[in-house]
């Protein structure tokens, strides 16, 4: 069994795969002050709960939190005795990147693109709605052409409640109407429907700039499901896309 770990700014998503099929998907909170021993305890608890503690034979990590990469790699080794592969420059991923500085591309974007290329028709837009909202452009030849980055939905909501005196923090859900008639519904309209409209609009702009019809729109990330459901375009929701990309990269290197 292979353990794939995606270390994001908000959550660490864990996927355990056997014969390319997910056996367990779990999440830990990203906490930068924690030690490898603390993460090892949590990881060991998850594996014991799923009765998988003695079955992990390999591991791979994608991280956008550099200060946690080594810590979590050590935690995996403590629990599984596996030397986890870390997605970075020099690791074979099969992705051709034609941006100005390919080395600065985040590991999460690399893995999402690899996951999309392995299973969807191209050209493709990969929409990752996490701490930041990112849209990656993959052309018909499988080249990573570039991306867009915007403040994530959670960040925007936190800023709204912290920087205003009368607007409350709310639970993210779609409103019944675009025209809000109370404060909470107004915020939900602007946040959920506004971000859905952004995805629809950015897809049109990116397609026009690429000069080719986009064949696949795929969305992932912790906040994607609610937003995609309100989009006018046909967007595939794949919550495990980055983990699937990690698994593909692991197989290329092992």
3-state secondary structure string, the chain? CEEEEEECCCEEEEEEEECCEEEEEEEEECCCCCCHHHHHHHHHHHHHHCCCCCCCCEEEEEECCHHHHHHHHHHHHHHHCCCCEECCCCCCCCCEECCCCHHHCCHHHHHHHHHHHCCCCCCEEEEEECCEEEEEEECCCCEEEEEEEEECHHHHHHHHHHCCCCCCCCCCCCCCCCCCCCHHHHHHHHHHHHHHHHHHHHHHHHHHHHCCCCCEEEEECCCHHHHHCCCCCCCEECCCHHHHHHHHHHHHHC
**4 touches 114 (CB < 8 A):** no
Q: Which of 94, 241, 254, 15 is nearest to 2 (CA)?
A: 15
**22 touches 6 (CB < 8 A):** no
> Of 6, 20, 83, 108, which residue is the catalytic one?
108
Residue 83 a catalytic site member: no
Active site members: 108
């Amino acid at each position: 069994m292979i353990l794939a770990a995606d270390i994001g700014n908000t959550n660490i998503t864990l996927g355990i795969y056997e014969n390319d099929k997910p056996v367990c998907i779990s999440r830990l909170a990203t906490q930068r002050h924690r030690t490898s021993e603390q993460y090892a305890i949590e990881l060991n608890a998850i594996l014991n709960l799923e009765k998988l503690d003695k079955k992990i034979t390999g591991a791979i990590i994608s991280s956008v939190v550099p200060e946690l990469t080594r810590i979590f790699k050590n935690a995996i080794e403590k629990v599984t005795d596996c030397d986890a592969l870390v997605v970075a420059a020099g690791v074979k991923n099969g992705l051709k990147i034609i941006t100005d500085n390919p080395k600065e591309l985040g590991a999460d974007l690399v893995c999402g693109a690899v996951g999309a290329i392995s299973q969807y028709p191209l050209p493709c837009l990969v929409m990752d709605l996490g701490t930041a909202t990112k849209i990656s452009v993959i052309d018909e030849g499988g080249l990573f052409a570039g991306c867009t980055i915007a403040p994530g939905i959670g960040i925007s909501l936190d800023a709204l409640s912290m920087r205003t005196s009368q607007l409350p923090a709310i639970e993210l859900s779609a409103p019944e109407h675009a025209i809000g008639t109370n404060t909470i519904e107004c915020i939900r309209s602007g946040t959920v429907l506004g971000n859905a409209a952004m995805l629809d609009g950015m897809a049109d702009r990116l397609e026009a700039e690429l000069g080719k019809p986009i064949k696949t729109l795929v969305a992932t990330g912790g906040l994607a499901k609610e937003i995609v459901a309100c989009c006018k375009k046909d967007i595939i929701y794949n919550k495990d896309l980055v983990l699937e990309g990690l698994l593909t990269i692991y197989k290329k290197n092992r």
